Chain A
Amino acid sequence: MKDSDPIVFVVDDDASVRDAVQRLIASVGLRVQTFGSTREFLSSKRPEAPACLVLDVRLPDSSGLELQDDLAQANVHIPIIFITGHADVPMTVRAMKAGAVEFLTKPFRGQELLDAIQQAIAKDRAAWNERAQMSELRGRYESLTPREKEVLKLVTSGLLNKQIGAELGTSELTIKTHRGHVMEKMGAESLADLVKMSERLNRSDAMSK
């Protein structure tokens, strides 16, 4: 298996459940890595790949719900599937509100868990692709000169070359050259493309703030 293949992390303090879940997931050809505690999981070096976390609620060191909070705090976005020996309503609500993919009560059917895992990995893969695209886009944006960034901003706000020239105090021809470079560096095929890219960048800026 390759390093970029999807991987499932399992955290459960009960070795028998952990092994059973590992065996089940391995039977559909997914990579599995198991942990006996949240601390073990947090201190492990995890491969860079689409992943999901199968997490027991009741754990010896800190509860699965706490781990969910900690991961969110640390900006680690990994879809979580909770499994628990006995669930109460507040526990379930808290987990689902914090973005859990599924909440399964032991004993659960294998297919339920596998379906939830597929769904979680698909979700993470989408997020993964999104992140990869964003970082690519950001790299391109960072390759622009300060003047080109200014031109990009004004072009995407809908101004004509002449107006931009007046704004920046240069000729229309210079702006046209800058604009060509921007289109080339950003890999945009049309003005509409460029506008979309700029919007994505702005959105992710707003989100990370």
Chain B
Amino acid sequence: MESNPGAHRLTSVVFRYGLAVILVAAALGVTSLLQNVVSTAGYLFFYIAVVVTTWFGGRWPGGLAVVLSALSVAYFFTPPIHSLTVDRQSLPVFIEFAASSVVVGWFSSWRRQAEAELRYARDELQLRVAERTAELTHSNVQLLAEIAERKRAEEAYYEAQAELARVTRLSAMGALAASISHEVNQPLAAVVTNADACMMWLSSDPPNLEEARAAVDCIAQQGTRASDVVRHIRAMFTKATPERTRLQVNDLIREVGILIEGAALRNQVQIETELAPDLPATTLGDRVQLQQVIVNLIVNGIEAMSDVADRPRRLVISSRMQSSDELLIAVRDSGVGIAAKDEKRIFDAFFTTKSQGMGMGLSISHSIIEAHGGRLWASRNSDYGATLQFTLPADREITA
């Protein structure tokens, strides 16, 4: 393999110079034949030999062809014939021939080089185009990968956010429940223990009425204390409306939509919104609480569809004016729906049909909507699933 290029170059050199010799010889033959037919045939074929040699063989074989042609013409065609000398009379013609063939050879060589350069430039251009195309393809692939990665990251982000919201809600409720149970259990413990002590004092012989009376007194006191605790908690829930800002219901829904995207994707639920485009009115309310209600309804809807396999899992969130002074927000799912026997109880605290539910979501949502002066109710759809909807009072002042 190593010697091949060298050998190739050698044969190429032999071929190129050989070409000069052969073509000049051929030109000599043809010109001699013509000379026999017409007295002066001219040296056209020598020119052709020079041009062709230069074209295919290059500059130096071309030069050789010029020299050989000049020698042939001097020897065979210019008097004295069969001598390399040229007599005075034929000298101008010979010089003219020699000069012409040099010029023709040089011109041909120049053309050849120009064309080679052109070809080289074209090849170079093609190569560059191919390289650039490859680069573009590569960066396109990279871009697509980056887009996919970004989408994944965004999804993870929303998922984390939704999870955080859920955990925050749960842990806040857990802490609240622990605190409530402690606050209520304390007086209850006193009541039960006093009642038992009272029984003991009454059944002792003789009965100690004084101690028994003191115990009953304490029972009454502690009963009142327990009811105070309960009233206090209720007040905390119902009166605690720290924020009352003007809210655009459609904005609320859109913001919640972002939070819920991850969960919908994970559960293969298609979420659609049918928002009245020009809801004229805003509502006064607590942004976080109302969003909590919407999230709750959506999550319930998604969970109600988790076992649905024979029809699309579709959740539609819509908003519209219910009447001139009421906004309506509805969440409609294609899930398992609500059993007739459960219809009245779904808003009760601690009522749940879910294996891991606390039964607090709808109950709290109900309280929140009522605290906002609205209503929350559920209905069965004519085909599948349920619709949970609530109204909020429209705030007209801002639009006027």
Contact = CB atoms under 8 A, between A and B. Distances in A.
Contacts of A106: 185-186, 188-189
Contact of A16 (B181, B190, B201, B214): B190
B214 A23 contact: yes
Contacts of B187: 16
A27 B188 contact: no
Interface in B97-148: none
A26 B182 CA distance: 26
B338 interface: no
Contacts of B153: none
Nearest to B208: A27
A24 B178 CA distance: 27
A14 interface: yes
A107 B222 CA distance: 12
B197 A85 contact: no
Interface stretch (A109-117, A159-167, A197-205): A109-117
A14 B222 CA distance: 11
Given A86-B181, A107-B191, A108-B192, A20 B218 contact: yes
B218 A19 contact: yes
Contact of A24 (B182, B197, B208): B197
A105 B192 CA distance: 12
Given A27-B200, A27-B201, A106-B188, A20 B193 contact: yes
A28 B200 CA distance: 8
Interface string B227-260: 0000000000000000000000000000000000
Q: In which size bucket is the chain B interface?
A: 20 to 34
B221 interface: yes
Contacts of B193: 17, 20-21, 23-24, 107-108, 110, 113
Interface residues of A, number: 23
A191 B53 CA distance: 139
Most central of A26, A105, A106 by chain B CB within 10 Å: A106
Contacts of B190: 14, 16-17, 19-20
Interface string A97-133: 0000000011111110100000000000000000000
A21 B188 CA distance: 13
A39 B204 CA distance: 35
B177 to A, nearest CB: 9
Nearest to B189: A106
B186 A20 contact: no
A152 interface: no
B178 A26 contact: no
B186 A85 contact: yes
Contacts of B192: 107-110
Contacts of A109: 192, 196
Interface string B193-207: 111110111001000
A114 to B, nearest CB: 8
Nearest to A22: B197
A83 B193 CA distance: 12
B196 A24 contact: yes
Contacts of B185: 85-86, 105-107
A16 B181 CA distance: 17
A103 to B, nearest CB: 14
B225 interface: yes
Contacts of B178: 86
Contacts of A20: 189-191, 193-194, 197, 215, 218, 222
A183 to B, nearest CB: 51
A85 B178 CA distance: 9
B369 to A, nearest CB: 31
A88 B218 CA distance: 29
Interface string A67-105: 000000000000000010110000000000000000001
A209 B318 CA distance: 77
A209 B190 CA distance: 44
B348 interface: no
A138 interface: no
Contact of B225 (A16, A27, A108, A111): A16
A58 interface: yes
23 contacts: A14-B190, A16-B187, A16-B218, A16-B222, A17-B189, A19-B190, A19-B218, A20-B191, A23-B197, A23-B201, A23-B211, A23-B214, A24-B193, A24-B194, A24-B196, A24-B200, A26-B211, A27-B197, A27-B200, A28-B200, A86-B181, A110-B192, A113-B193
Interface of B: 178, 181-182, 185-197, 199-201, 204, 208, 211, 214-215, 218, 221-222, 225
Interface of A: 14, 16-17, 19-21, 23-24, 26-28, 58, 83, 85-86, 105-111, 113
Task: Give 8 closest A-B pairs by Cβ, nearest first.
Answer: A110-B196, A106-B189, A27-B200, A24-B197, A20-B193, A85-B182, A107-B192, A16-B190
Given A20-B193, A107-B192, 20 more contacts: A16-B218, A16-B225, A17-B190, A17-B193, A19-B190, A20-B189, A21-B193, A23-B193, A23-B201, A23-B211, A24-B194, A27-B197, A27-B211, A83-B189, A86-B178, A86-B181, A86-B182, A106-B185, A108-B193, A111-B196
